[in-house]
Every structure is written in C-alpha cells, then in structure tokens.
Structure 1
Amino acid sequence: MRRRDFFSIGAAATGAVALGTLATGVGAQAHSTAETTAAHTGRKSQIVTSDGVTLRVRDWGVGKPIVFLTGWGLPLDFWHYNFIDLLDEGMRCVAYDRRGHGRSDDPGTGYDYDTLAEDLAAVLEMLDLTDVTLVAYSMSGGEAVRYLTKHGNARISRIVFLSSTAPCLMLGGDNTVGVPGAMLEGAKALMAQDFPKWLKEGEAAFWLNAASLEMQEWGRELMLQTSLPALLACYDTMIRADLREELKKLDLPTLIVHGDKDASTPFALSGARIGKLVSGTQVKVYEGAPHGLPITHRAQFKTDLLAFARG
C-alpha cells in the first residue's frame, strides 16, 4: 500500500419575488441571532487549563450538549457546518481548539494523550457540562478514551468514535494489524520537510471528490493554521498510542461511524477493532465515505448522531 494511503491529509437572485424571499430569510436570521445571543450571555469563549494554557472554546445553542473533539491538525472551525445542522434541531454544540491548534495557545508542550485528556476535563468542568454526547473524530479518540479511563463517565453519557485512529496504529509486538513504523516515520519526515506539499498531495484521498474544490481549499487552510511543532508532536502521540486495554474498560453507549473508503485510517484497522473491544457498540459504515466524512456525508451523519444523542 502506498505511503500516502495513510494519513493523507487533503446566481444571484433577481426580481421582486426573489428579493421578497431574501428579505424574509434575513428577518428570520436576525430573529434567530437575537435569540442565540440572549441564550449565550455569560458563556465562556476561553478556558484556562491546569497548566495555564488558554483554549479557544465555542459553546452555541441550548438543550442536550454534544461536545465535538477535533481531528489531527484541525481547529474547531471544521465543525461549523455540523453545528448549524444541530442547532436547528435544538442541540447545544461545544467545541474547542486543541492546544497548538487554531487560536488556542501553543505552549510547546503537552501534546500527549494524558495532558490532552486533562484539557478536555477542564472544558467539561468549566462549562459544567453533563449528560454529554462526546464526538471524537480521528486522533481525538485517544484523548476521549484517556479522559474516560481517568475521570469516568459522570459527565459523559455516550461516545461516538468518528473515523477514529484508535486503537493502535503502529505495527509491532502483539499488534499484528497496523502500519509499519518506517512508513509512519517516513510520512512524518515528509511533513517536516514540506507540510503544505504533503497536505496538497493527500487531499484527493481525504475528500474522494465528494467535496467542492473550494471546500477542499478551506480544509487545507484550516490545517495550515496549526503550529508545525504541535502537529508533529500530536502525530507522534497518535501513531504510538496503544489504547486496546483502555477501550475494554469503557462502559457507556458507543457508536462507531466510519467510511468504507477511508484511506487515512481504514475501517479494518480502526473502527472494526474498536467494535470488538468495546461491548455493546453500534457500528455504522458509510458506503463511499472518506476520512472527511463529517463534511462529505454531513446529512447522513446528522441523522445518525441525532438519533444516538437523543437515545
């Protein structure tokens, strides 16, 4: 299998009727914005962790909370399209920029799963969130699992592993289903040499032509905001983690969502294995879906996530 198959990251209206429709839409949007602003008075836009790192947070909507954890190299902005779907359904949507990502602090340390799990704990505690549906995308499955094994599920009612990189990526020892370390290290060397080029070359596999060229460019720009040292350190954390024993300890409703065309982390390497380690899981494999599933299969994911969160 080629190296880039793994971790490829990649009318104006006229006339009185049209103008009338536009005006109605603007009025409805203004009303909705006013209601949302009122509901958000006093909400935090930043959280400070136990080691003094400031994390940018977005906490929108009212109702049952869904906390979205970002994938490797992505800021919280990646979730905005999913937010607007779920806010209309009466859900509360929360996300934050992982340290070194987006507009959070980049302290140069703390990119291991233990620290990242404590960052998640700080967000949950400062916002006093309970009965949470936790959506862990890609790399963030590791920080979600580490949080649950360290803090329990008093605040978390259910978890979604979305295109996850868990449980154990690197081949070796008793992990006979994985990627050779030399291949993973080779990808890291290419990133360190020319990350924009590496990202552009892997774009097609990430999206599989299921997103517009403009959307693909937007996604690439989001990842280019990430601190390169933080990105490489998080990559190390992700490829070296072995979460198999921790996953066996999970005891809460679990949904696995994965694409059957995910070249970044194939289902057989990740989602299928999580389903065997965590008892009582629901598994949904999306036909034709790549790693960029939250965007490319947005409507399908909305339906499944809502059904699960309201369960």
Structure 2
Amino acid sequence: MPYITTPDATNLHYTDWGAGRPVVLLATGVMSSRMWELQASHLAKRGLRCVSYDRRGCGRSDWPWDGYDYDTLADDLAAVLESRDLRDVTLVGCAVGAGEAVRYLARYGADRVSRLILVSPTTPFMMRSPDNPDGIDRAVLDEMTEAIEQDRPRWAAELAGPFFGGADAPLYPAAAADPARLPVSTELARWMADLTLDSSPRATVEICRTLFTTDQREETAKVPLPTLVIHGDADLAAPLELCGARTADLIPDCSFVRYEGAAHGLFASHAERLNKDIVSFLSG
C-alpha cells in the first residue's frame, strides 16, 4: 500500500485517484479517508485528481502516541502535498479537517493551494471563554472524553444517529428498528461507526481536544483564498451559528451554503448535493 513518511517518521497511508486538477480530501474526526468514498470516486470520474489520506492515529496510517495538535497535523498535510508535488490544489476539509486546512495555510501559505472548501467545519473556536460566550462549555468535552475512555464502541455507536440525523434521530442501537428516522441506511451508519473505531484511543481523545479547544479566529480571518463553506443547520457536533456561519463571516472571500435540516455527516447524508456543490465551486 502507498505511504508517505512525515519528518517525524510517521507513515501516512494515501490514495491518489484520477488525473487533472488536484483535490485533497481531509477527513472528519478520527474517521479514515474511506469516509470520502462517495466523493472520491465521483470527483475522479469527472476529470479531477483526487488525493486522500488517513490522518495519523487513524485507519491504515501509523498510530503514534503524540502529534494530534493542529501544528503537527498541518505539517502532515504539507508532507502529503510536497511528496506528491501537488500544486493548484483545492483543499476540502471536513470538521477537524477544516481546522487542519486553516492551520496549514497559516504555517505554509497558499503557494500550493488555490481554493478551499470547508464542510461542517469546527472552526473558528468551539469552546466557551470570556471572549467567546456563545461557545460550548468545557464540561461537554470532559463528558465526551470520559465516555470515550470508558466504552469507546458504545460512544461511537450512539454518535451515529445524531451525526447523520440531528437531534430527532435515534441513537444508533435503535436505528434498525426505525430506519426511516435516519437519512442514511443503517448499514452505512454502522460502517461509519466502525470507521470511527479504526483509530487509536489516544488519537480519538486528543483530536477531539484539539478541535474543541483551539482558537483559530485570527488565522481563519487571514485565509487568503476563495472559500466555500457548507454547513447543515441541524448539526449538533459543530453548531452552524457557532462554527460554519462564523467561519464564513471571518474569511474575506467566502461563499456560504446552508443545508436546511441537515446534520454533521453531509458527506454521506447529502452526498449527491455535496458533490454537485464541490464540482460547481471548482468550475466557477
């Protein structure tokens, strides 16, 4: 299998499909690049070179103990772009992948990147603080960390329903009894939950901590590229007004698309619409 080795000797598994203008897909949370199945094939078939990779600690990449801060994750992205000599790149970052992309631009500039697409982003700053009073209380992160450490399979399973269906969706164990309440098949929801478990426990906790506690307001406001932000207004994991809307307001050259009634996992629940929006933005 193809791997890229980072400067700190971490091996990252990647796929490189198609030919043409490169699109680099950055996954959500601790899912591997397999989550992009409905996008990668679609884009490659339409004359684009589609590159995706498993973030460190996830999937088929190495599972080191450390390196789950945005600086290191951005350095990993730089290693991928440089090793494949990718230029005129469109970065597509989902959730934590958005923070990764923003930090890459802050550290490395836009020489290799020409456009940015942020899907269900967790930027610019999720945690409540004196100057971010509408943020989410730190206790939510603490509760999630405890749930992950006590019973990670249950945490992943119960996350699946709200992840794809929002507040009205059943918890995953009940989904099979009433599949109409989920916008994806129960089989797909189960597969995505399994992808979440194909990661190290350490990476799961530390990546969640990074996306929750990192203040990226200043660097988000300095993004120098044409950007498209896509966000569902029923997103529980990254609330639209706190994340997508504020990100779009901060980026100087930004278009914002709201998916009404959509939750966090747009890459699966709204795959056809998302694919069309990505292609349309790249064609503009």
- Length-normalised TM-score, structure 2: 0.92
Distance, in Å, in 2 between the alignment partners of 1:247 and 1:179 is 19
Q: Greater CA radius of gyration, 1 or 2? A: 1
Q: How far apart in 1 are the matches of 2:124 and 2:67?
A: 21
Structure 2: which amino acid aligns with 1:301?
Answer: L
2:213 pairs with 1:240: yes
Which one-letter code corresponds to 1:67 in the other structure? V
Displacement over 4 Å in runs of 4+: none
Distance 1:123 1:202 in 2: 30
Q: Which of residues 225, 240, 262 is equivalent to 1:289? A: 262
Provide the rounded CA distance (Å) in 2 between the counterparts of 1:161 and 1:83: 16
Distance 1:256 1:125 in 2: 25
- CA–CA distance in 1 between the matches of 2:47 and 2:191? 27
Letter in 2 for 1:60: W
Contact 2:29 2:96 in 1 (8 A): yes
Q: Which residue of 1 aligns with 2:132?
A: 175
Deviation of 1:310 (Å): 2.5
In percent, how many aligned pairs have the same letter?
Answer: 42
Q: Is the 8 A contact 1:45 1:59 kept in 2?
A: no
- 2:64 maps to what in 1? 107
CA distance in 2, matches of 1:107, 1:199: 21
In structure 1, give the amino acid aligned to 2:264: H
Answering whether residue 44 of structure 2 is matched by residue 87 of structure 1, we say yes
Task: Please give the alpha-carbon distance, in whole angstroms, between the structure 2 residues aligned to 1:112 and 1:91.
Answer: 30
> Match for 1:221: what amino acid?
D
Offset, 1:45: 1.7
Matched, 1:231 2:204: yes
Post-superposition offset of 1:199: 1.7
Decide whether the 8 Å contact of 2:28 with 2:95 is kept in 1. Answer: yes
Shift in Å, 1:140 = 1.4
Aligned AA (1:83):
A
CA contact (8 A) 1:67 1:134 kept: yes
Asked if 1 retains the 8 angstrom alpha-carbon contact of 2:231 and 2:240, the reply is yes
Aligned to 1:143: 100
Preserved contact between residue 157 and residue 190 of structure 2 (Cα < 8 Å): no
Measure the CA separation in 2 of the matches of 1:56 and 1:86.
20
Rounded to whole Å, the distance in 1 between the matches of 2:5 and 2:259 is 37
1:52 to 2:25 alignment: no
What letter matches 1:238 in structure 2? L
Q: What's 2:224 paired with? A: 251
Deviation at 1:263, TM superposition (A): 1.3
Query: What is the CA distance between 1:290 and its match in structure 2?
Result: 1.2
Provide the TM-score with structure 1 as the length reference.
Answer: 0.84
- Supply the AA of the counterpart residue of 1:193: Q
Deviation for aligned residue 1:244: 0.1
In structure 2, the residue corresponding to 1:269 is in which secondary structure? coil
Give the total of aligned pairs. 268
Q: CA RMSD in A?
A: 1.0
> Does the CA-based 8 Å contact 1:55-1:104 persist in structure 2?
yes
Matched, 1:264 2:256: no
List runs of 5+ in structure 1 lacking aligned partners.
1-43
